[in-house]
């Protein structure tokens, strides 16, 4: 229990969350004193708690056409989560069931007395700060997401996109409204433990624009962190709770709560600490938390990776990861499935592209802003027309 006379504020942030019966039973038992759950206690003891809700709360199936899995949970999965203050909805799954799913999610959050951030009826309303007064300090939360399926546009609802011009305008015009700014960024390459060069540059920019801390989520693994201009940036805290079969890689089940401690007298002075845990693969347990976890390999890897962060290291790790997964990215680019990757491996041409001329044309189309905007507009129109027909 936190000392009420302390001169600090604690903000606790959890990563990707998809609730299920196991989680709700555990939290319900913890709430009733029937289960010792330090993760639950840490969230309850915080002055402000935030979790990324990685799925819509739906009353009926209305899945959209998209790349990747369509996820949703029912409202009964949500009621016990009322100890979480704020849900970030800026992610690549929040629109998996369209505007109806977004509306029912917002209703579910409001029904338990919690707040949300990172979505809106369009890009302008989605990109808004949520400001909460905490012990006399005005804490602002900004939640943004890379432009996958589900980001809002000028005319459609969804998650707040990473739009640097709009973000700059927002933070420049609102600076007098807040004392501390925490930015949640849903982005990066899944399973890569270091930030991409672009993501790291973005996080530095956000600090330059006034952020007191930047927390990156989405990668499903514990990554690295650094202090930039004395402000903490977390590049991946792992999943909060996202149950998968035990055959999934070990890092899927590793994570930590991010704890940000703010000095009330100097609200722009902020420090970081981690509360590590494992998601148990057993249906009888949810979280395994122990003091010895600070010595576990994934936290040692986190510290080691953090100590190595540099422009060169980040670039080399990114290039190596991309080359290792070349066929996966090429199959996505060419609109092919797993069979295509298996066929290419059989022919011993995995990772090879379509030839110099084709590569040059495709590279220019992806890299040139006007060409890319044109292609995106055409593809969005095609998908919208198909949805209307169905």
Do 293 and 330 have their domain in common? no
Q: What are the residues whose beta carbons fall under 8 Å from the beta carbon of 212, sequence distance 6 or more? A: 180, 181, 182, 231, 260, 262, 267, 268, 270
What pLDDT does 386 receive? 67
Do 226 and 261 have their domain in common? yes
The string of DSSP letters for 198-259 reads: HHHHHHHHHHHTT-SEEEEE-SSSEEEEEEETTEEEEEEEB-SB----TTS-GGGGEEEEEE
Report the SS3 class of residue 137: strand
Do 303 and 342 have their domain in common? no
Return averaged pLDDT per consecutive 10 residues of the chain, 390 residues in all. Answer: 76 96 87 86 96 95 86 90 97 96 96 97 97 96 94 94 97 97 98 98 98 97 97 97 89 95 92 91 67 68 96 98 90 80 76 78 92 90 71
> Exposed (0-12), middle (13-18) or buried (19+): which is 106, by Cβ within 10 Å?
middle
Question: Residue 306: which CATH number?
Answer: 3.60.21.10
Do 306 and 332 have their domain in common? no
Do 252 and 336 have their domain in common? no
What pLDDT does 133 receive? 97
Does residue 141 fall inside a structural domain?
yes
Number of domains forming the structure of the chain: 2
Do 269 and 363 have their domain in common? no
Task: Give the end of a domain, one of 295, 316, 337.
Answer: 316
Does residue 285 fall inside a structural domain?
yes
Does residue 262 fall inside a structural domain?
yes
State which residues form the domain around 112.
8-316
Do 362 and 288 have their domain in common? no
Does residue 1 fall inside a structural domain?
no
């Amino acid at each position: 229990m936190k000392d009420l006379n302390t001169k600090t504020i604690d903000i606790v942030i959890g990563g990707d969350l998809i609730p299920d019966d196991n989680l709700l039973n555990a939290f319900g038992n913890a709430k009733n004193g029937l289960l010792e759950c330090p993760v639950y206690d840490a969230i309850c003891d915080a002055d402000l708690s935030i979790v990324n809700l990685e799925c819509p709360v739906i009353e009926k199936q209305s899945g959209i056409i998209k790349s990747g899995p369509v996820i949703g949970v029912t409202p009964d999965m949500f009621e016990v989560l009322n100890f979480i203050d704020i849900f970030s909805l800026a992610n690549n799954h929040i629109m998996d069931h369209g505007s109806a799913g977004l509306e029912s999610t917002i209703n579910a959050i409001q029904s338990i007395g919690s707040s949300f951030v990172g979505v809106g009826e369009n890009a302008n309303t989605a990109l808004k700060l949520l400001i909460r007064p905490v012990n006399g300090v005005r804490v602002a939360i900004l939640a943004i997401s890379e432009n996958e399926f589900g980001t809002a546009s000028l005319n459609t609802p969804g998650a707040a996109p990473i739009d640097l011009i709009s973000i700059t305008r927002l933070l420049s015009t609102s600076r007098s409204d807040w004392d501390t700014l925490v930015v949640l960024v849903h982005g990066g390459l899944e399973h890569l433990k270091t930030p991409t060069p672009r993501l790291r540059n973005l996080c530095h920019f956000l600090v330059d624009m006034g952020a007191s801390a930047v927390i990156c989520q989405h990668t499903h693994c514990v990554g690295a962190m650094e202090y930039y201009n004395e402000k903490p940036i977390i590049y991946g805290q792992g999943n909060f709770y996202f149950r998968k079969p035990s055959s999934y890689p070990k890092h899927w089940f590793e994570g930590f709560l991010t704890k940000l401690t703010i000095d009330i007298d100097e609200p722009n002075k902020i420090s970081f600490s981690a509360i590590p845990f494992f998601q148990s693969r057993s249906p009888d347990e949810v979280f395994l938390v122990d003091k010895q976890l600070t010595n576990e390999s994934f936290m040692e890897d986190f510290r080691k990776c953090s100590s190595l962060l540099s422009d060169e290291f980040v670039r080399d790790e990114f290039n190596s990861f991309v080359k290792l997964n070349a066929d996966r990215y090429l199959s996505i680019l060419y609109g092919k499935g797993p069979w295509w990757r298996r066929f290419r491996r059989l022919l011993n041409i995995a990772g090879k592209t379509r030839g110099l001329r084709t590569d040059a044309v495709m590279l220019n189309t992806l890299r040139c802003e006007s060409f890319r905007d044109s292609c995106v507009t055409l593809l969005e129109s095609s998908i919208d027309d198909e949805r209307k027909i169905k």
